[in-house]
């Protein structure tokens, strides 16, 4: 049975804070029900929404093989998902700025772009999660801690990376006490056992994968096991479940882009799962179905927009081939055209590694793409010469604008969050 624990917060009266921030108070910390062994029943409409979402994700992964280079598309959508997940946490960075910072990091160049570095950490953590944690025999607490470690590595909070919190945290209200918080997660001594139960639930196969991912994410956010990075780690867990269950074997649907756009519904859906009382009570059943239904809807729309984006990338590649002229199959130029959507900013060495060709062949291919306007030379970091496929970055920007609109078109439905300017 879910419950609240009444606690006392004692502030340091000599801290030098304002009267409001140094107050002591009674607060209630929420402890959710365990998931393992819990009977979860989906309403008819919700079950149908989950089925539709799963079918859409399967179609996206199947179609990706024929429409565009799968690895390139997977990297693009992973980047889009990580950017959106970071946006929910207030980390704002434009596509071109992020991709150039990513290229600088690959070149071993240091940047002063703290925000871009944090978003790149999210990309690396999510990539590791879906490639490694999802393919292990079981999802474990140690695995989740590794995702979190990679997320915060190199940031101002690196000392907390990969560590379960040892103090109370909260959401909303003052940054100094939980007295006016909108939600207070479980006390720290409850966290480890709740995470173990969550991992055991993630290793089951009794529920549809989309429903399981939705519930796992909601439970993770309710536990809030870390000092920081809970949202981003919890959204990575969504894709770990979808990959582990075989639903998203190649490409990830950018669900966080939709959740970021529907932020009020997102928060309301998570809140609806935090009932008080019996697991089979009406509020418990209705709240869980409300959240799963909203999550399934977000997943379905993310697939539709990802498919449209894939088609746009294919159009861009066809335009390149038309401008370039005859290209020998499996040549360095052919491989580079297929790979650029996933790596729109490259150096000759990076491109050579990417396409598996020698320096000279790759350099000749890049020269040909520069001559035909596919690539343009740019400077990355302090003095590194690189080459940028601007059309792909512009398409990525358009996708971000499109998914920020409730109706999928910012011309008729204004974005609900900050987005890059229209080109």
* pLDDT tens sequence for the chain (423 residues): 899 999 999 887 656 677 777 788 999 999 999 999 999 999 999 999 999 999 999 998 887 654 444 455 556 666 666 666 665 656 556 666 666 676 666 666 666 666 777 777 777 888 899 889 999 999 999 999 999 999 888 788 889 999 999 999 999 888 889 999 999 999 999 999 999 999 999 999 999 999 999 999 999 999 999 998 898 899 899 999 999 999 988 878 888 878 877 888 999 999 999 999 899 999 999 999 999 999 999 999 888 888 887 888 889 999 999 999 999 999 999 999 998 988 888 889 889 988 999 999 999 999 999 999 999 998 876 667 889 999 988 887 777 666 665 555 545 555 555 555 555
> 400 in a domain, yes or no?
no
Return the structure tokens found at 168: 């109370």
Domain count, the chain: 1
CATH assignment at residue 197: 1.10.3290.10
> 296 in a domain, yes or no?
yes
User: Each residue of 191-219: pLDDT tens digit?
Assistant: 999 999 999 999 999 999 999 999 999 99
User: Each residue of 321-378: pLDDT tens digit?
Assistant: 999 999 999 999 999 999 898 888 888 988 998 899 999 999 999 999 999 999 999 8
Closest CA to 255 of 308, 199, 297, 205: 297
> 287 in a domain, yes or no?
yes
d(CA 2, CA 288): 13
Provide the whole-model pTM: 0.84
> 294 in a domain, yes or no?
yes
**Residues 31, 2: contact at Cβ < 8 Å?**
yes
Task: List, in sequence order, every residue forming a beta bridge with 25; answer none if it has no partner.
Answer: 9
For residue 121, give its domain range: 3-308
pLDDT of residue 68: 44
> 350 in a domain, yes or no?
no
Q: What are phi and psi of 26, to 5 degrees?
A: -90, 140
> 84 in a domain, yes or no?
yes
Task: List, in sequence order, every residue forming a beta bridge with 30; answer none if it has no partner.
Answer: 4
Closest CA to 399 of 309, 334, 303: 309
d(CA 379, CA 87): 27
pLDDT of residue 294: 96
Q: Please state whether beta strands 376-380 and 384-388 pair in parallel, antiparallel, or not at all (unpaired).
A: antiparallel
| Four-residue CA torsion sign, 356, 361, 363, 366 | negative
pLDDT of residue 67: 43
> 58 in a domain, yes or no?
yes
Three-class SS of the chain: CEEEEEEEECCCCCCCCCCCCCCCEEEEEEECCCCCCCCCCCCHHHHHHHHHHHHHHHHHHHHHHHHCCHHHHHHHHHHHHHHHHHHHCCCCCCHHHHHHHHHHHHCCCCCCCHHHHHHHHHHHHHHHHHHCHHHCCCCCHHHHHHHHHHHHCCCCCHHHCCCCCCCCCCECCCCCCCCCCCECCCCHHHHHHHHHHHHHHHCCCCCCHHHHHHHHHHHHHHHCCCCCCHHHHHHHHHHHHHHHCCCCCCCCCCHHHHHHHCHHHHHHHHHHCCCCECCCCHHHHHHHHHHHHHHHHHHHHHHHHHHHHHHHHHHHHHHHHHHHCCCCCCCHHHHHHHHHHHCCEECHHHHHHHHCCCHHHHHHHHHHHHHCCCCEEEEECCCEEEEECHHHHHHHHHHHHHHCCCCCCCCCCCCCCCCCCCC
Return the structure tokens found at 123: 């990309």
d(CA 181, CA 197): 26
> 411 in a domain, yes or no?
no
pLDDT of residue 126: 84
Please report, for residues 27, 133, 203, 249, 344, the alpha-carbon distance to residue 139 in angstroms, rounded to integers and kept in the order given: 33, 6, 6, 17, 33
**Residues 295, 213: contact at Cβ < 8 Å?**
yes
pLDDT of residue 261: 77
Q: What are phi and psi of 302, to 5 degrees?
A: -65, -35
């Amino acid at each position: 049975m879910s419950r609240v624990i009444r606690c006392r917060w004692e502030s340091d009266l000599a801290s030098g804070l304002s009267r409001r921030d140094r107050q002591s108070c009674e607060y209630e910390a929420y402890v959710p029900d365990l998931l393992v062994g819990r009977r979860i029943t989906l309403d008819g409409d919700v079950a149908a929404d989950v089925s539709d979402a799963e079918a859409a994700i399967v179609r996206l992964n199947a179609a990706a093989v024929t429409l565009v280079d799968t690895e390139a598309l997977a990297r693009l959508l992973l980047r889009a998902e990580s950017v959106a997940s970071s946006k929910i946490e207030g980390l704002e960075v434009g596509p071109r700025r992020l991709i150039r910072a990513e290229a600088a990091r690959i070149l071993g160049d240091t940047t002063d772009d703290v925000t871009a570095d944090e978003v790149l950490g999210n990309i690396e953590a999510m990539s590791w999660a879906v490639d490694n944690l999802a393919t292990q025999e079981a999802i474990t607490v140690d695995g989740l801690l590794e995702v979190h470690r990679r997320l915060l590595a190199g940031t101002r909070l690196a000392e907390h990376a990969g560590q379960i919190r040892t103090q109370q945290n909260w959401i909303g209200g003052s940054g100094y006490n939980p007295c006016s918080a909108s939600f207070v997660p479980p006390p720290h001594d409850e966290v480890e056992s709740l995470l173990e139960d969550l991992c055991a639930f993630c290793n089951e196969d009794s529920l549809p994968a989309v429903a399981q991912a939705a519930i796992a994410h909601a439970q993770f956010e309710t536990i809030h096991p870390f000092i920081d990075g809970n949202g981003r780690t919890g959204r990575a867990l969504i894709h770990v479940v979808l990959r582990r269950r075989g639903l998203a074997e190649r490409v990830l649907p950018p669900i966080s882009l939709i959740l970021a756009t529907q932020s009020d519904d997102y928060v309301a859906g998570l809140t609806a799962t935090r009932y008080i009382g019996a697991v089979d009570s009406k509020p418990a059943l209705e709240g869980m179905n409300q959240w799963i239904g909203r999550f399934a809807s977000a997943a379905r729309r993310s697939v539709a927009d990802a498919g449209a984006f894939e088609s746009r990338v294919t159009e861009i590649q066809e335009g390149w081939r038309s401008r370039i002229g005859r290209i020998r199959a499996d040549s360095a130029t052919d491989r580079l055209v297929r790979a650029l959507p996933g790596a729109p900013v490259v150096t000759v060495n990076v491109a050579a590694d990417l396409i598996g060709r020698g320096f000279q062949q790759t350099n000749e291919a890049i020269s040909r793409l520069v001559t035909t306007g596919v690539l343009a030379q740019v400077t990355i970091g302090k003095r590194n010469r690189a080459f940028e496929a601007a059309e792909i970055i512009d398409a990525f920007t358009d996708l971000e604008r499109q998914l920020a609109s409730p109706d999928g078109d910012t011309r008729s439905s204004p974005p609900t969050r900050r987005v890059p300017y229209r080109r």
